[in-house]
Amino acid sequence: MTSNQWFNRCSRRCASPSGRVLGVLAVALTLACLSRDVTSQLRSTWQNALRPSLQLIATLKRRTSGLRDRWQNAEVLSEQLATAREQVLVLESKNRRLANLLRDPRRRITVAENRASFTATQQPLIVSRFVEARVLGQQGRALLNHLRIVDAGRAARILPGSFVLDGPGAVLDLGADARLKNGQIVMNEDRVCGKIVEVGPRVSRVLTVDATNYRDIVRIVDRDDPRREHGRGMLEGTGQGSCRIRLVDISRPVTVGDLVYSAAGEDRLPTKLLYGQVDRVEREPGAPHWDISVRPSLGARVPSRVTVLTSEINLVRLANRPLKQGP
């Protein structure tokens, strides 16, 4: 047998299925016989080749772990939502039961007291109260004068409140019985009429804004922009149907048409109290202050119905006892 024939026979055997299987087994045996160093070298090469994909997988795992946390948070939130819905149902049933209890008047009073004590600390310490009053006309004054004469002769000879009928200004049909006091502002629809200067048990006397003795601190604001204040000064009645404002520095930009508001009660009233409008602004040569003339918004007359602005301590706050502090 020549070498060429031997090679051809070997090639045919290797191409047969059994030869291929034998070849595979030979390769496997060769691999199994490799030294440990070669094996570890092959494995490290293979692991290095796999590193990019493993890094990608690690990155994806980090991202998905964030998503998984969000998903778990969503599950927790859904559980909390279910619990909250159950609580809402319970509270609704309680509300229905309480509404049924409130139909009983006696229980209603108890609930109102509890509510008042709860909201007491949320209320201001000083509150404003508006007292509606009527201005007595000539006939009313005449009647009271007649009563004065009768009462004075019958009992103590002096009728309390008799002094209010004398003197200038309007007379209101409310007095100390309505807790009116001196200095309280009398107004009509946010416009100042005057101040109470004398109070009797049943009646009180009002000094109108144009009266000679009338004085009040006022604010002068821009006509177009009420938030711009042009100055503060002392308003005085002239006794001639108008007022004037003193002590306004000439550096203040006061102009004709500016509005004049009361500075009293501005910290606790929802609206501003209007005195009138500036109708003349002058300055004496060398004088440091403006001479401002004001036209009262109500004129010299007093409406038949007025409102007295009173300030008093909030009784709800006084009734609410402070909590006891620890030692």
Cβ 82 to another protein shortest distance, Å: 29
Tell me if 22 contacts another protein by CB under 8 A.
no
Size of the site for another protein (CB under 8 A): 24
Within 202-231, the residues that bind another protein by CB under 8 A are: none
Tell me if 25 contacts another protein by CB under 8 A.
yes
Minimum CB distance to another protein smaller for 68 or for 94:
68
In this chain, which stretch among 32-40, 83-91, 249-257, 281-289 interacts with another protein, using CB under 8 A? 32-40
Characterise 167 by phi-psi region: left (phi > 0), alpha (psi -120 to 50), beta (else). Answer: left
Cβ 34 to another protein shortest distance, Å: 6
Site string for another protein, 59-78 (x = CB under 8 A): --x-----------------
User: Long-range pairs for 72-79 at CB < 8 Å and ≥24 separation?
Assistant: none
Tokens standing for residue 261: 């508001």
Tell me if 46 contacts another protein by CB under 8 A.
yes
Tell me if 43 contacts another protein by CB under 8 A.
yes
Cβ 47 to another protein shortest distance, Å: 8
Tell me if 142 contacts another protein by CB under 8 A.
no
Minimum CB distance to another protein smaller for 20 or for 94:
20
Burial 43-57 (b: 16+ CB within 10 A, else e): eeeeeeeeeeeeeee
Tell me if 53 contacts another protein by CB under 8 A.
yes
Minimum CB distance to another protein smaller for 64 or for 123:
64
Tell me if 42 contacts another protein by CB under 8 A.
yes
Q: Which residue has the tokens 């005057």?
A: 194
Cβ 23 to another protein shortest distance, Å: 8
Element at 90 (helix H, strand E): helix 36-102
Q: What is the DSSP string of 188-250?
A: ETTEEEEEEEEE-SS-EEEEETTSTT-EEEEEEE-SS-TT-EEEEEEEEE-SSS-EEEE--BT
Site string for another protein, 289-308 (x = CB under 8 A): --------------------
Q: What is the DSSP string of 106-145?
A: HHHHHHHHHHHHHHGGGS-SEEEEEEEEEEE-HHHHHHHH
Cβ 102 to another protein shortest distance, Å: 59
Q: Are 309 and 303 in contact (CB under 8 A)?
A: no
Q: Are 260 and 276 in contact (CB under 8 A)?
A: yes
Tokens standing for residue 270: 């929802």
**C-alpha–C-alpha distance, residues 217 and 228, integer Å:** 17
| From 31, 98, 109, 319, residue interacting with another protein (rule: CB under 8 A) | 31
In this chain, which stretch among 49-57, 135-143, 165-173, 275-283 interacts with another protein, using CB under 8 A? 49-57
Where does this chain bind another protein (CB under 8 A)?
17, 20-21, 23-25, 27-32, 34, 39, 42-43, 46, 49-50, 53-54, 56-57, 61
